[in-house]
Amino acid sequence: MSRFFSKKYENLEPYVPGEQPQDRKYIKLNTNESPFPPSARAIAAAATAAERLQLYSDPECVLLREALSRQYHVAKEQILVTNGSDEALNFAFMAFCDEEHPAVSADITYGFYPVYANINHVPYREIPLQADFSIAPEDFYACGGTVVLANPNAQTGVALSRAQMEEIIRRNSSNVVVVDEAYVDFGGESCVPLVEKYDNLLVVQTFSKSRSMAGARLGFAIGSKELIADLNTIRYSNNPYNVNSMTLSAGVGILADQETIDANCRTIMENRAFTANELKKLGFTMPESSANFILAEHTSVDGDTLYRELKERGVLVRHFTNKRICNAIRITIGTREQMQVLIDQIRDILEK
Ligand SMILES: *Cc1c(COP(=O)(O)O)cnc(C)c1O
């Protein structure tokens, strides 16, 4: 820390992203990226947009918001486009959390939530998941704060139904409920159809997972016009050109190729069932995942050992130090071939 670093950030503990090693080629199953390249339409659209990089990107993101508006059946004014969904989440913490509206989330979830609370000087309260890693909806009724829930949940993959989410939203009517749907396309039920009914609901989604565009950094939020206007006040006070023009065009391109996205999601779900089944045969337990990853725990080998042994063998998975899940590894679902290598390597480790 330099002697100039502001005191207001001296206790900030930054988010630690999963490794993106450049030294050797790994089978990368550690950051929930898609194993499939983006649609050819997205690539072509980005290349065309690159020819006009001397111009600023469209601060209104009109073409992409129109495409999203058609896909999700909401008005353009109900959509905010952001630099990854992380930015939408940060804007939501800035806009809707303060001393009177502390952020409330689960004890095991996306690690960025407490960081956003911290950088925005907002109190953060954790409600523990059940022993089986599910969320008990009633634990989140009348929370007295801004509720931030990933559904399906991060790290566990466990999903609540739309009806269960609706009850949480209904019973927190004096606070915003942020539903982070980064993984919804892999078997979850989206809350987007509820935004017409609840003015306190903000749904956040991303192009990073199901749409194979993690490197483009593109996310969006859907809510009432009023919530979106608040978020735009924050966005225009921060960076009106928050999304670059190549990414905006790629986003429009990929939305025009929904068949590819759907086919990729189906493949991931099939590979998830295959992997879960093989892992169970090898003595792993895991909560049922509705996401593109599995949180698996072995009865006799701990998570850190598995993580290190797999890395030595060229397979990267994610290991967390959080006490409740430090015995587990989080495995991103890749291609069938990648999952076969993973299973073979794990079998080899267990036999040793
Ligand atoms: C991956 C992920 C995000 C971040 O996505 P970006 O759009 O790449 O910023 C947000 N929330 C959860 C729960 C995630 O897993």
3-state SS class at 350: helix
Q: Cβ(71)–Cβ(64) under 8 Å?
A: no
Contacts of 5 (CB under 8 A, 6+ apart): none
Point out which residues pair with 315 in neighbouring strands. 27
Which atom of ligand 1 lies closest to the CA of 208? 8
Position of tokens 């076969």?
A: 340
How far apart CA 216 and CA 208 sit, in angstroms, is 8
209 alpha carbon to ligand 1 midpoint, in Å? 8
CB burial readout 237-272, b (16+ within 10 A) else e: eeeeebbbbbbbbbbbbbbebeebbeebbebbbebb
Take atom 2 of ligand 1 and give the residue whose Cα is closest.
182
Q: Cβ(239)–Cβ(61) under 8 Å?
A: no
pLDDT score for 22? 85
pLDDT score for 23? 79
Q: Where are the alpha helices (DSSP H) in the chain?
A: 40-50, 62-72, 84-96, 112-119, 162-170, 225-236, 245-255, 258-281, 303-312, 336-351
pLDDT score for 352? 86
Q: Cβ(224)–Cβ(78) under 8 Å?
A: yes
Take atom 5 of ligand 1 and give the residue whose Cα is closest.
85
How far apart CA 244 and CA 217 sit, in angstroms, is 9
pLDDT score for 171? 98
352 alpha carbon to ligand 1 midpoint, in Å? 36
Locate 290 and state its tokens: 């509705």
Choose the residue to mutate in 34, 181, 183, 208 for probing ligand 1, maximizing ligand atoms within 8 Å of C-beta: 208
Q: Cβ(186)–Cβ(269) under 8 Å?
A: yes
Q: Cβ(160)–Cβ(290) under 8 Å?
A: no
pLDDT score for 114? 97
99 alpha carbon to ligand 1 midpoint, in Å? 25
Choose the residue to mutate in 149, 158, 206 for probing ligand 1, maximizing ligand atoms within 8 Å of C-beta: 206
pLDDT score for 24? 81
Ligand 1, residues at Cβ distance < 6 Å: 32, 84-86, 110, 150, 154, 180, 182, 206, 208, 214, 219
219 alpha carbon to ligand 1 midpoint, in Å? 8
Residue-wise DSSP of 54-89: TSPP-TT-HHHHHHHHHHHT--GGGEEEESHHHHHH
pLDDT tens, the chain, 352 aa long: 999 999 999 999 999 888 888 878 899 999 999 999 999 999 999 999 999 999 999 999 999 999 999 999 999 999 999 999 999 999 999 999 999 999 999 999 999 999 999 999 999 999 999 999 999 999 999 999 999 999 999 999 999 999 999 999 999 999 999 999 999 999 999 999 999 999 999 999 999 999 999 999 999 999 999 999 999 999 999 999 999 999 999 999 999 999 999 999 999 999 999 999 999 999 999 999 999 999 999 999 999 999 999 999 999 999 999 999 999 999 999 999 999 999 999 999 999 8
Choose the residue to mutate in 15, 32, 86 for probing ligand 1, maximizing ligand atoms within 8 Å of C-beta: 86
Looking from the CA of 186 toward its CB, the CA atoms found within 13 Å total 39
pLDDT score for 233? 98
Which atom of ligand 1 lies closest to the CA of 150? 13
Take atom 1 of ligand 1 and give the residue whose Cα is closest.
182
Q: Cβ(308)–Cβ(346) under 8 Å?
A: no
Q: Cβ(163)–Cβ(193) under 8 Å?
A: no
Cis previous bond, 152, omega within 30? yes
Which atom of ligand 1 lies closest to the CA of 218? 7
Closest residue by Cα to residue 149 from 185, 128, 191, 178 = 178
